[in-house]
Amino acid sequence: MRRNKIDIISLGCSKNLVDSEHLIAQLMAAGYTVEHNPTHVDGEIVVVNTCGFIQDAQEESINTILELGEAKRQGRIRQLMVMGCLSERFMAELTQELPEVDHFYGKFNWKQMLADLGNSYRDDLASSRYLTTPPHYAYMKISEGCNRFCAFCAIPLITGRHKSVPMEQLLAEARNLAGRGVKEFNVIAQDLSSYGLDLTDKMMLPELVDKMAGIEGVEWIRLHYAYPTQFPWDLLPVMAQHHNVCNYLDIALQHISDKVLTNMRRHITRDETLRLIERMRREVPGIHLRTTLMVGFPGEGEKEFEELMDFVREARFERMGAFAYSEEAGTWASEHLSDDIPQDVKNNRLQQLMDLQEEISMDIQQAKVGTTQRVIIDREDPDYYVGRTQYDSPEVDPEVLIDKSTPLVPGNFYNVKITEALPFELMATM
């Protein structure tokens, strides 16, 4: 057990990761040695930043806490602290059921952790972060919370109402990161579309992206988790105008059936969704759309599922993920709708949808063979350099495997020729 060392384990999404990075900066300034996601814990204190979004994520968080509780009983760690979404949502229950945890913090009160350790939160370090990602890219969280209250989603129960980070604070953070060598900025939020509404009653995402694009050293800006209803249309000309704003947008659509969309409380129709996609592709030529879809939501019969399959065939999303509906306690759906679709039916529909998307992805990837693509190199593997195009977000999208005939430097950009396509990877040469 290493004295004065804190191990931090981040679970869940990149938004959690940003919180961990801000915490690490504060702890390091207080004099602690901090390691993020260690292969094995050896610090006297361990902090688990939990995820509470869906059942699988909740179970992963609980299992991690139980394993560390056992390590504490064996004397391998001295203190165990838990923060994040799961403890925000189930603080009372966890406190009762997990006595091995010394302190619980929610998603927003982790500053108290510093006080409990005998230190003070430093406001002058509010924009400071210790990057846990490779040094050439970072995530930028521009808001927290959500006002949409979709029927299936527990996020508003965890994060509360939508709250934007002031623009000047974000621009200062972007300038600081760019000055440290960060070239790629993945802009994230539960709801990008609403950025600024709580500050000025105006959708400010287009202005934020426009100003970020003018910061020296910012090579790529990629946008994650826009909401389709009340979309900020002024964003599209900003994307088309700036070469360093990637032709990429992550926008979760969830479904296409009017019946299911109504049950989901998405406040959008099939026709409005189709017009949204058409306008995005018209105003930003070459845009790659990433979406998330859900199968098995209450009210989705065979007719509605086939409608979803036909939609995916026609829309041909460049990037797509999907998941089966899982009822979450406290959501509108859990209290007003019956989760009456058998799990095996949900699983079968999910498999059909992803099999279809694999075919579409293969066609889209194949069309890139013979083209020249600008890639950023993430790492060197034994057989290849591994990079990504502007259409590929870290962790979730395809990678480009480049032969090692020419030495390349991770973090740098290169032009490569695509030589072969796989459903979720591209092969390339300099």
pLDDT at 20: 94
For 92-101, 191-200, 286-295, which range has the lowest pLDDT when averaged over its residues?
92-101
* Res. 2 pLDDT band, cuts 50 70 90: confident
* pLDDT of 38 above 80: yes
Residue 12 near residue 53 (C-beta atoms within 8 A): yes
pLDDT at 177: 95
* pLDDT of 166 above 90: yes
- HEC profile for the chain? CEEEEEEEEECCCHHHHHHHHHHHHHHHHCCCEEEECCCCCCEEEEEEEECCCCHHHHHHHHHHHHHHHHHHHCCCCCEEEEEEHHHHHCHHHHHHHCCCCCEECCCCCCHHHHHHCCCCCCHHHCCCCCCCCCCCEEEEECEECCCCCCCCCCHHHHHCCCEECCHHHHHHHHHHHHHCCCCEEEEECCCHHHCCHHHHCCCCHHHHHHHHHCCCCCCEEEEEEECCCCCCCCHHHHHHHCCCEEEEEEECCECCCHHHHHHHCCCCCHHHHHHHHHHHHHHCCCCEEEEEEEECCCCCCHHHHHHHHHHHHHHCCCEEEEEECCCCCCCHHHHHCCCCCCHHHHHHHHHHHHHHHHHHHHHHHHCCCCCEEEEEEEEECCCCEEEECCCCCCCCCCEEEECCCCCCCCCCEEEEEEEEEECCEEEEEC
Query: What angle do the packed helices 167-179 and 205-213 form, to 10 degrees?
Result: 30
Q: For residue 17, count other CB atoms closer than 10 A to its CB.
A: 23
* pLDDT of 120 above 90: no
* pLDDT of 346 above 90: yes
* pLDDT of 253 above 90: yes
* pLDDT of 111 above 90: no
360-390 tens-digit pLDDT:
999 999 999 999 999 999 999 999 999 999 9
Token pair, residue 234, equals 């002024």
Tally of CA atoms within 13 A in the half-sphere of 51 that contains its CB: 18
266-296 tens-digit pLDDT:
999 999 999 999 999 999 999 999 999 999 9
* pLDDT of 53 above 90: no
200-250 tens-digit pLDDT:
989 999 999 999 999 999 999 999 999 999 999 999 999 999 999 999 999
Distance CA 418, CA 360 (A): 18
For 73-82, 102-111, 135-144, 300-309, which range has the lowest pLDDT when averaged over its residues?
102-111
Tally of CA atoms within 13 A in the half-sphere of 408 that contains its CB: 28
